[in-house]
Structure 1
């Protein structure tokens, strides 16, 4: 699939499935498709996560050392431009007509059930866009963020919720002016707090799994002493509030009454 803009997948008992694509970006009024990376040779396969519930999972592409299925464990998944594994989510397969062949094959191989596909259609069919990099099915699901933007997620469980956390990476200047002190992007995930001060409460931290675009201070770093400490790959996001020493960013999901907090409570209970 190296450099190909799309792949036509054919299965013995179904119509061809067209336009399995790698990625796209918007150039003016047009959508421009990006070809698969070099050395994309291997196997399409269905990936599932037993911790993420019955609606998670999707088609991925595993690059392998040779064309034998025995080399599959030695391979690695192709990454999408957003830094996470390239994937066609089960929700996308269920809701898009051009993936009907894949849906039929998954059912034929008993990898998913018709009930799972029907449930996905019921939850996701009204959504214009389903973005794998911002759709999470359990607390430990990684997702992409931009350090100079609010966090916006789709949380999927028994229901589908939108989660918007506008102030995670934001700081305040004089006259209470809000700004984002850091630019760059990365992959993060929520973690349940194990700190003594969180005992008996449901508190989330956020770990920076990987930085994708370099983290750069948007103000004069020599004089910056704002709320958000520079994000560092591998560490928890750290903030300093009210002249206190820096500490991990913490979100108590039971002390907020927003729809986002309700979605995270549901995710906590289902994870």
Structure 2
């Protein structure tokens, strides 16, 4: 089981029109080799999908209660979140009730679910996290960057470009014992956008030892450079960032809490 807000439409390729062939068919894949999907919450948001939603209801594929939950979680008048943010390395942004309607954004509700991750200077990840009653858009930028010096000035350097299929996991690293910490595992590379090195800025100290350690490897945890050392990217979902003495701080990885909360409610999809 999973959050009802995580429902999605997929297209099945079968050997014949006979419904009995469904079980032996396969999902239609997109150009990245991932299942093509269209989330339920987007169908509810868009008037041009209303007839299809009615059909799902009539066929018993979704319940009225589920549609009510989705409607409460996402305003039907909402079409796209347009806010942009300048952020520190790896810093996220999250918007409850205002998920993006971009068709490329995965809906995640459990550890181990795959998503595309982009090594680039812009947006590395944008996904929608579905709890039992709320959905969040969550973005991450500048995760794989570090600073280099050129003529005494600091520049952000992105040592690799390309795309990979990744997943979030509960950290099992010894140093994270007793804490709710999320890590990212690189599952496989995407053939149409292979991982390739990016030369450092001309005249800059490229810190080659960091570059080689940061090189993505299939099956391993995604790594970042922090204070001249390389370590797995990790997000403590209970950590509070104190922005000033006047406020109570923020919880930058709040959206990732959904993965722990859903695991308690629905169990792990890999063991249930």
What TM-score, normalized to structure 1? 0.71
Residues 221-253 of structure 1: per-residue CA shift (max 9 Å, x gap): x96233661112232213454455x54222222
Gaps of 5+ in 1: 1-49
The residue aligned with 2:148 is: 173
Picking from 207, 214, 239, the partner of 1:255 is 239
Residues 177-198 of structure 1: per-residue CA shift (max 9 Å, x gap): 2222110012211100112111
Picking from 101, 124, 130, the partner of 2:101 is 130
Contact 1:161 1:260 in 2 (8 A): no
Quote how far apart the aligned CAs of 1:132 are.
4.8
Picking from 212, 232, 255, the partner of 2:217 is 232
Contact 1:165 1:260 in 2 (8 A): no
Question: Separation in 1 of the partners of 2:145 and 2:181?
Answer: 20
TM alignment of 1:51-200, pairs within 5 A: 52-124=2-74, 125=76, 126-128=78-80, 129-134=100-105, 135-148=107-120, 149-150=122-123, 151-157=125-131, 158-174=133-149, 175-200=153-178
Quote how far apart the aligned CAs of 1:54 are.
0.9
Deviates more, 1:228-237 or 1:203-212: 228-237
SS in 2 for 1:117: helix
The residue aligned with 1:269 is: 261
Residues 127-156 of structure 1: per-residue CA shift (max 9 Å, x gap): 424235423233333222211133333322
Task: Please say if 1:214 is aligned against 2:225.
Answer: no
Question: Separation in 2 of the partners of 1:107 and 1:82?
Answer: 31
Quote how far apart the aligned CAs of 1:201 are.
0.7
Quote how far apart the aligned CAs of 1:91 are.
0.8
Tell me: higher relative CO, structure 1 or 2? Use CA pairs within 8 A at least 6 residues apart.
2
Residues 247-266 of structure 1: per-residue CA shift (max 9 Å, x gap): 42222222244454111123
The CA RMSD measured in Å over matched residues stands at 2.5
Question: Separation in 2 of the partners of 1:259 and 1:199?
Answer: 20
